[in-house]
Amino acid sequence: MKAQLGWEAEVVKYVSVVHKLTAVHGNKKGATPPSLKKDVLILGPHFLPPGYIHAQKQDTPHITPGISYIQALTVVHPFYYPTISGRCPGCSSSDVLLEGWTTKGACDVHGLHRNEHAIGVQIICKHC
């Protein structure tokens, strides 16, 4: 659905920008990451889609029922879970590389408390 893909693209863009603002270059081991400015909102890792009230308050000319079918999105990213970028889950090597977002898009997964629609980053191990 076009609305769902647009929503996911906006969430991915937000997380990418916030992560870039707080990331430390890989060559600077042990450096303290910069803090976000006070005017930048920290949202996530569970993003709820906009509802009718958001469309109404943003003065959208055509409010369609399609926005009620947009699923919430959970983001698995080192910005929210810093420990996922440390080691390979297969061989426990610390020589891993984050290779951007998954190419297949978001997936439906079974969580502990609910079923979720999730998207994450690719972790590539240089050994395996």
- 11-43 residue pLDDT tens: 999 999 998 998 877 666 667 888 888 998 899
What pLDDT score was predicted for residue 12?
94
Lowest mean pLDDT among 27-31, 48-52, 68-72: 27-31
DSSP 81-108: -GGGGTS-TTT--S-EEEEEE-TT--EE
pLDDT score, position 9? 93
Strand residue runs (E) in the chain = 46-47, 73-76, 96-101, 107-110, 115-125
According to DSSP H, which parts of 23-73 are helical? 52-57
Mean pLDDT of 64-80: 85
pLDDT at 75 > cutoff 90: yes
> Under DSSP, is residue 115 helix (H, G, I), strand (E, B) or coil?
strand
Mean pLDDT of the chain: 84
Is residue 46 scored above 90 in pLDDT? yes
Tokens matching residue 90: 């297969």
Question: Which DSSP letter does residue 122 get?
Answer: E
Q: What is the pTM of this model?
A: 0.80
Question: Can you name the residues that pair with 117 across neighbouring β-strands?
Answer: 108
> Residue 16 CB: number of other CB atoms within 10 A?
15
Q: Is 116 helix (H, G, I), strand (E, B) or coil?
A: strand
